[in-house]
Amino acid sequence: MPPEKKQFIIGPISPAADGALYQQIVDRIKREISEGRLKPGVALPSFRLFAEDLLVSVITVKRAYEELEREGIIYRRQGLGTFVADLGHHRSRETKLDAAKDLLREAFREAAEAGLKPAELAELAREILKEKK
């Protein structure tokens, strides 16, 4: 009997979802790393196996891995595979923090255009943060 193939789960990837398929893979892997579910040194699936699991092309997975490698979140070793970098968590967190800042800037701009004053915006932020608890 062949060995059981371990499935690598990062959540659904869909052409109907926002963003390109490769970007969805990048975002999901970053989330898994930043939330501590993928630790430094953990091996990622090969392009082919991951593409089969996600029902996407090998080229899509390759592009996602190249993006993550360029950002220093993962690294590849010829003949050994692809792994989460030691600083992957830190870099992934930085990337997510930058994205959060961009979203907040956009939200602040929208609030200002809607006529909210800084005190009203601060109160709104407190309300939203309370909802998260």
Estimate the share of the chain in helix, then strand, then coil, as percent rounded to the nearest 5.
Answer: 55, 10, 35
Query: What total of structural domains would you count in the chain?
Result: 2
Instruction: Tell me whether residue 9 is in a domain.
Output: no
Domain housing 50 = 21-88
Out of 2-11, 14-23, 69-78, 98-107, which region has the weakest mean confidence (pLDDT)?
A: 2-11
pTM beyond cutoff 0.85: no
pLDDT of amino acid 3: 44
pLDDT higher than threshold 50 for residue 4: no
Residues 80 and 96 in one domain: no
pLDDT of amino acid 2: 44
For residue 80, how many C-alpha atoms fall within 13 Å in the half-sphere facing its CB? 10
Residues 72 and 116 in one domain: no
Instruction: Tell me whether residue 2 is in a domain.
Output: no
Instruction: Tell me whether residue 13 is in a domain.
Output: no
pLDDT higher than threshold 50 for residue 1: no
> Across the beta sheet with 74-77, what order do the strands follow?
43-44, 81-84, 74-77
Residue that finishes a domain, picked among 73, 88, 103: 88
Condensed to tens digits (0 to 9), the pLDDT of residues 71-130 reads 999 999 999 999 999 886 676 677 777 778 888 888 888 888 889 888 888 888 888 888
Residues 56 and 38 in one domain: yes
Residues 64 and 30 in one domain: yes
Q: What is the dihedral of CA 73, 78, 81, 83, to 10 degrees?
A: -20
